[in-house]
């Protein structure tokens, strides 16, 4: 019985730590109308979030050094076949991001967030972070951490 109580206490401590970290990561994420930005993609294409109004869009923050972001790449690729996606590379250097995109054949729009200005607007503390923006430009759902393909597709479908 003593072992059971000790195991239960350890389990509860892990759960509290897990939810504490999740709360910390998400506490400053913005809600409501998505902050607009006008930035160049790595292909020197002008990307303006306001121009996506009328369509749901996934605004996804990531970094090249992030193992969870790398694990999520195939999920983003598949989601990109069905919905518009703007990925924002933050907390990294531009040349590193360009090399990473080239080496990994990423086929989605990548915006380099110079000085992490866009990440600050969105309240990002950790990557990956995703903002599901509906066709009216409103953030309907946010997620920090790994998201499956089904998770991306379901949220995009449900929250538009």
Q: What is the CATH number of the domain that holds 13?
A: 3.40.30.10
Q: Measuring CA to CA, how many Å separate 53 from each of 48, 86, 90, 107, 117?
A: 10, 13, 23, 22, 21
State the total domains in the chain. 1
The tokens for 150 are 């089904």
Question: What does pLDDT average to over the chain?
Answer: 87
pLDDT above 60 (res 27): no
d(C-alpha 37, C-alpha 17), whole Å: 34
User: Rounded to 5 degrees, what are φ and ψ at 60?
Assistant: -120, 120
Quote the pLDDT of residue 76. Answer: 95
Enter the pTM of the model.
0.81
Quote the pLDDT of residue 2. Answer: 75
- Going by pLDDT thresholds of 50, 70 and 90, the confidence category of residue 77 is very high
**Domain coverage including residue 121:** 2-158
d(C-alpha 16, C-alpha 72), whole Å: 25
Asked if residues 52 and 136 have their Cβ atoms less than 8 Å apart, the reply is no
pLDDT above 90 (res 29): no
């Amino acid at each position: 019985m003593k072992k059971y109580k000790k195991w239960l206490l350890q389990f509860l401590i892990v759960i509290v730590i897990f939810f504490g970290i999740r709360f910390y990561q998400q506490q400053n994420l913005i809600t409501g109308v998505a902050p607009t930005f006008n930035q160049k993609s790595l292909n020197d294409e002008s990307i303006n979030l306001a121009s996506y109004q009328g369509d749901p869009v996934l605004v996804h923050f990531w970094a090249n050094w992030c193992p969870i972001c790398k694990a999520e790449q195939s999920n983003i690729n598949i989601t990109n076949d069905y919905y518009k996606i703007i990925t924002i590379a933050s907390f990294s250097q531009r040349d590193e991001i360009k090399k990473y995109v080239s080496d990994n054949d990423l086929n989605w729009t990548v915006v380099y967030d110079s000085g992490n200005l866009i990440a600050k607007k969105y309240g990002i503390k950790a990557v990956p972070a995703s903002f599901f923006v509906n066709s009216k430009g409103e953030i309907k759902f946010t997620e920090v951490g790994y998201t499956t393909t089904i998770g991306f597709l379901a949220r995009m479908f449900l929250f538009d």
